[in-house]
Amino acid sequence: QAHLAESGGGLVQAGDSLRLSCAGSGGTFQSHAMGWFRQAPGLQREFVAAIGWSGERTIYEDDVKGRFTISRDRAKNTLSLQMVSLKPKHTPIYFCAADLIPRSSPLTEAFKDANSAYWGQGTQVTVSS
């Protein structure tokens, strides 16, 4: 049974950098679009970034553009999120996700149906001021 597991969260100060990782196991996600989402207590889950099956295409939420970088290693079945200039606005849990969409589909089509995607259990990121 394929699943995803995040790691790398922790406590950092505002302006610091942090790298999150997501490891797939029990199956390959090489054909999946993958992404990162975050959710703080009492708030809605928010899209952060996504990457296409080949790693060529990427999209980002406006607030993290220029600060976060999503990448993947298809051979290792892993996904990463490099975060710089972290802000203390919220202390969300970051989730990685994978969604099997046609290779010809725009990356924006991924994760439209959250229930159809694979989700990890999340990793907490706390940014202090």
d(CA 33, CA 55): 9
- Residue 34 has a pLDDT of 98
pLDDT tens-digit readout, 15-49: 999 999 999 999 999 999 999 999 998 999 999 99
Which residues is 99 bridged to in the sheet?
33
Tokens of 108: 């924006």
Q: Dihedral of CA 41/47/48/53: which sign?
A: positive
pLDDT tens-digit readout, 71-96: 999 999 999 999 999 998 778 999 99
- Residue 60 has a pLDDT of 98
d(CA 18, CA 15): 10
pLDDT at 5 over 90: yes
- Residue 74 has a pLDDT of 95
